[in-house]
Amino acid sequence: MANPKVEAHGTVVLQGLKKALKIMDDIKNTYTSLSEHHSEKLQVDPGNFQLLGDCLTVLIATRLRTEFTPDIQAAWQKFLSVVVSALRRQYH
């Protein structure tokens, strides 16, 4: 990776997704401060969350190929929609 800061943030994002898998029942409350941080401090366009999810989906599909079945893709996209919703929650 050419930019160590981007690589480090990518690691943080993937760790955040791993955490989300473990706390699915309370993801919106758990991600409240993260949503506020991205909204208030970083001022990230909330559309970027969906864009990142789409990029991750393409990457995973490319890597898994035939193992990325329609059922697995549907489950993955449902999971990402919950994550994106939680991250957008504190936007005004």
Cα angle 42, 49, 16 (rounded to 5 degrees) comes to 80
Instruction: Give 2's pLDDT tier (boundaries 50, 70, 90).
Output: confident
Please report, rounded to a whole number, the percentage of residues in the chain having pLDDT higher than 70.
Answer: 99
Instruction: Give 1's pLDDT tier (boundaries 50, 70, 90).
Output: low
- For residue 61, pLDDT over 70 is answered with yes
* Full-model pTM: 0.87
Superfamily covering domain 23-88: Globins (1.10.490.10)
What is the average pLDDT across 66-80?
Answer: 97
Q: Say if residue 27 is exposed, middle or buried (CB neighbours under 10 Å; 0-12, 13-18, 19+).
A: buried
